[in-house]
Amino acid sequence: MKSTKILLVIPFIILSIILSACSSTIYASTGWHGLIASSDVAYLAAGPQVYAIDLNTGSEKWRYPDKANAKIAFYANPVLTEDGKLLVPSYDKNLYVLDAATGKEDWIFSDSANRLVASPLVIGNMAYQPSSDHFVYAINLVTQQLAWKQETGAPIWARPADNANCNCVFVASMDHFIYSFDAANGNLNWKTDLGAAIVGTPAVSSDGSLYIGTFGKQMVALDAASGNVRWRYDTQDWVWSGPTLANDVLYFGDLAGYFYALQISDGSPKWRIQPKNAIVDTPVVYQDKAYINTESDTLFIVSTADGSINSKVVGGVIYSSPVITGDLILVSPTGYDALLVAYNLDGSQKWSFTPAK
Amino acid sequence: MWNTFILSPMVNVLIWIYNIFFHNFGLAIIIFTILIRLVTYPLTAQQLKSQQKMQELQTSKKWQDIQKKYKGDKEKLAQEQMSIYKEMGINPLGSCLPLIIQFPIMIGLYQAITLAMASAPIQLLNLSRDIYTFIPASQLIPLNAKFLWMNLGLPEISTTPLVVAGFALPIMTVVVVLTTYLQSKLMTPPSANPGDQSAAMSRTMNLSMPVLMGVIAYSLASGLALYFIVSNLLGIAQYALMGKANWGNLFGKRKLSPVKK
């Protein structure tokens, strides 16, 4: 009888071990933190909760939800609208619209059938939310209604881009295509096969070109009006993030850890460096420096003139790009005590934010 | 170690099969399961051998005698049984080995499916490092997770088409429970003494294993449930082809092998 009981218990012990082992891999580190900042508040999407942090003191203004919920996970960069709403996409398929001042929930867009990995593009009253369910949703933020939706062939992990010269939205999908949709009605203008998945947001230049990196180890320039390819530049590894465009130069990194500066006219390299580890987020260019985080504990500050490097050890592993607001550089490491660290432009630390339990 | 020797090879074999067979991940899991069955065939054969020896032992006069002699002394009975095992060169755990081997395969496969489906950025980043260079990863990613009504990277409950009175019915979980039960019953050799301890243990295992597998199939990625079902069906087919399936056990009739002396 005793042996029978043991036999009954053993499978359930094994089950507990398996489920706990497997569950931990589901929820642990599935994305990197999302971060934006206004002039006085930083909004940090850090897994189960979103935090509003006072930039002067580094103290918490509010958090959403009040109690962490394992089913909700926020990793995309939140988006702040002109009328003070904070749009926060979640892995639980919902787009949460919060009052940015108080953190109170305003309304939720819940049409998506799969997780929301990327941020929405906001133009006026419209939000264009990409989803892992293959659709991009155009949502009227005033009426809170869906205006249109368009399907691609795979999950969309890239925030769409727009062009001031046309009323269009560029959507990069993991189905290897980049799409141009009419922003008003969702009609397809064109689509171009780039031969590999795309998860970065395209950069758009004033001369009507579109620049996007692919998992096919390429940076590609396209005509934004027709979708025709203008030039291609071969990289060392997959290009994960979209490029940053500044002074007619594209700055971006790849998974081999190379960081490139290319002339937008023909894709010729200005310089190339390899700071350390994979680069998975879009760099920030401020004045004459590019700020990048690689998959390491260090923030790299690169001269845009010649690619010379300065670095600052932060801690943990930093995937997401820093945010520069006013005279502060904000860095959000994962696997570190502090969720957010603020540096002055001279590199000295101003404060760090660790949420109270 | 785990990643290098279990997880990475599993992920790469799955993606390699996916690339060859119509870019269908469900089909890749089915073919992968057949390969696993072939690789673990020597263990299955060993298990059958052990079972047969045990069966022969349990019907032998010597075994029956000690059961009667030490009926009231469980400790002494266990000692005597162990000495008979030793004497006859039988490993009493020999028939459990294939089951034990299943667990690392199961955990590895679950992780491989989750990794290959790469439904979140860090999983995809990890996958990009795990794929061997001969696989054209950049052309294949993202893998198509759709198979029948399922998204193989998610629990079936999120995509099941059968909703009755507001409740989503987990079809795959039900099939996993049924096929596991069926396999357990067919694999269990007839006992010489249905009332003895080992027969009771077998009955308990026959009931608890399907429940265990059902809970796992319900909770984790539906790709794993697909693996369970295919593995169970192959197991049943394998036993039937080898003439070892105990159909009588399924229909409540006992069939004993002749006692070998």
The domain segmentation of chain A, as residue ranges, is: 235-315
pLDDT score at B220? 84
Confidence at residue B95, expressed as pLDDT on a 0 to 100 scale: 61
Task: Tell me the chain A residues in contact with residue B218 when contact means C-beta distances shorter than 8 Å.
Answer: none
On chain A, the residues whose CB falls within 8 A of the CB of B200 are 4
Residues of A in contact with B211 (CB under 8 A): 11
pLDDT in tens, B44-63: 777 777 777 777 777 788 88
pLDDT of residue B259: 44
The predicted pLDDT at position A118 comes to 95
Distance of CA A285 to the CA centre of its chain: 16
Residue environment code for A266-286, b if the CB has 16+ CB neighbours within 10 A, otherwise e: ebeebbebebebbbbbbbbbe
CATH no. for A235-315? 2.40.128.630
The alpha-carbon gap from B244 to the nearest alpha carbon of chain A, in Å, equals: 24
Residue A23, pLDDT score: 46
Q: What distance in Å separates residue B53's CA from the closest CA in chain A?
A: 22
The rounded mean pLDDT for chain B is 81
Mean pLDDT of B159-173: 77
E strand or H helix at A317, and its extent? strand A309-318
Distance CA A277, CA A311 (A): 14
DSSP string, B219-237: HS-HHHHHHHHHHHHHHHH
Q: What is the mean pLDDT of each run of 10 residues along chain A (357 residues)?
A: 55 55 48 92 95 96 92 93 96 95 96 93 96 96 97 96 90 97 96 96 93 97 96 96 96 96 96 93 94 92 94 90 93 92 92 92
Please give the ipTM for the structure prediction: 0.87
User: Does the CB of A146 have a partner CB in chain B at under 8 Å?
Assistant: no
Is the preceding peptide bond at A130 cis, omega within 30 degrees of 0? no
Question: Given CB atoms, is A76 within the 8 Å cutoff of chain B?
Answer: no
Which pLDDT belongs to residue A282?
94
Which is nearest to B55 in space by CA: B83, B92, B96?
B92
Tens-place pLDDT, residues B7-48: 899 999 999 999 998 899 999 999 999 998 888 888 777 777
CB contact under 8 A, B107 and A132: no
């004459």: which residue's tokens?
A: A288
pLDDT band at B178, cuts 50/70/90? very high
Task: Tell me how crowded residue B34 is: count the other CB atoms within 10 A of its CB.
Answer: 13
**What per-residue confidence (pLDDT) applies to A193?**
97
Highest mean pLDDT among A285-299, B1-15, B141-155, B227-241: A285-299
Q: Which residue has the higher pLDDT, B221 or A329?
A: A329
Task: Give the number of residues written for chain A.
Answer: 357
Q: Looking at residues B205-233, what average pLDDT do you find?
A: 87
pLDDT cut 70: percent of chain B above it:
84
* Tokens representing residue A114 in the block: 């799969």
Mark yes or no for CB contact B138/A214 under 8 Å. Answer: yes
Output the pLDDT for position B177: 94
